[in-house]
Chains A and B, each alone.
Chain A
Amino acid sequence: MRVLICIDDTDNLESRGTGELAENLAAEIQDRKWGHCEFVTRHQLLVHPDIPYTSHNSSMCFAADIDEQNLPALVKRAKAFLVEESAPGSDPGLAIAILERLSDETALIDFGRRAKQVVLNKQNAYDLAAAHNIHLSEHGGTGHGVIGALAGIGLRMSGNDGRLKGWLRIPANDGVAKVSDIVDHFDLGGVRTISGELLAHDDLIAVGEKPKAVFLNGKPYLLVSPLAEAATVRWQTSSRRELKQF
């Protein structure tokens, strides 16, 4: 079965980031041979004076394909993991959704999108989670992280939100790589411009420092921008500034 696992508000100014914890949890799930985990996506939520957050208010989500028999152990371990690993003063929340048991994806996606626009409360999150058989739990502090954790599930489910944690280590010759090689190597949905133009398989890309992928149409995509002086190579990987909007 396919599950989405999302955590939020696990850090403080001195601790590891929530993204690293998500990666560690995913690695542990695989080490225990409970299933296979995908990449972690970062989802930006609303920044507002009424919302407590450490510095950026983002949640971290990953998908996992697991055997159904391992689900109870996974939920139990994920809860314990957050208790053990979350930083003092944080307000961690955990959400786990079993995709085949969801009756209405639209409400969850809508919750995720609203969490980017308006201030939501814990009761909003618990009510929605209960209505859709989603595990939602808090593990310290105020537990406000449940809001972002559930929102992250909805945003990942939307297929069109967030950046992937980490960067693509693209094999390149003299700083240049071909689209088809990049797509095959990283199993991307494609290479495209920020405005949505999909590049051809034989297009060449100038590979910049630590290029990142974004989550679009349910797949990771590498985004590129036109080179100012285009020759054989017309594109370069987009900068962090350009990716900020994702």
Chain B
Amino acid sequence: MWFYIEEGRKLFLHGQEDYTAAAHAAEACPAFREDVEEEWVTDEKRSCYNCRLRRWTADSFQCQSSTE
């Protein structure tokens, strides 16, 4: 799994620079929603890093999707 559950939220364990893992996670995610253009941080459109539901933290991001 790319994520673990913490207080009902999912934290991405691969930080903010693992573009391959973020793309793989988004590929398999039915909840993926592309964020607005100005918030894209990678060129793969379908990446958790470009997802509207990711909430950046200091080191990584939390997924705000209710989908497990």
Which A residues are closer than 8 A to B by beta carbons? Answer: 13, 16-17, 19-20, 42, 47-49, 53-58, 60, 163, 165-167, 208-210, 239-241, 244
Contacts and interface: CB of A to CB of B under 8 A. Distances in A.
* Most chain B CB neighbours (cut-off 10 Å) among A19, A56, A166, A244: A56
B43 to A, nearest CB: 5
Looking at chain B's contact residues, the main secondary structure is loop
Contact of B64 (A13, A42, A167, A209): A13
27 contacts: A16-B36, A19-B37, A19-B38, A20-B36, A42-B38, A47-B56, A49-B57, A53-B55, A54-B55, A55-B52, A55-B53, A55-B56, A55-B64, A56-B39, A56-B55, A58-B39, A163-B38, A165-B37, A167-B37, A208-B43, A209-B43, A210-B37, A240-B40, A240-B42, A241-B19, A241-B42, A241-B43
B43 A55 contact: no
Contacts of B43: 208-209, 239-241
Given A239-B43, A241-B42, A241-B43, A19 B54 contact: no
Nearest to A54: B55
Contacts, number: 56
Given A55-B64, A241-B42, A244-B41, A17 B56 contact: no
A68 to B, nearest CB: 31
Nearest to B57: A47
A103 B19 CA distance: 45
Interface of B: 19, 35-43, 52-58, 64
B38 A17 contact: yes
B41 A240 contact: yes
A12 to B, nearest CB: 10
Contacts of B39: 17, 42, 55-56, 58
A19 B38 CA distance: 7
Nearest to A210: B37
A16 B42 CA distance: 20
A165 B38 contact: yes
The 6 A-B residue pairs with the shortest CB-CB distance in the complex, in nearest-first order: A17-B36, A19-B38, A244-B41, A55-B55, A165-B38, A47-B56
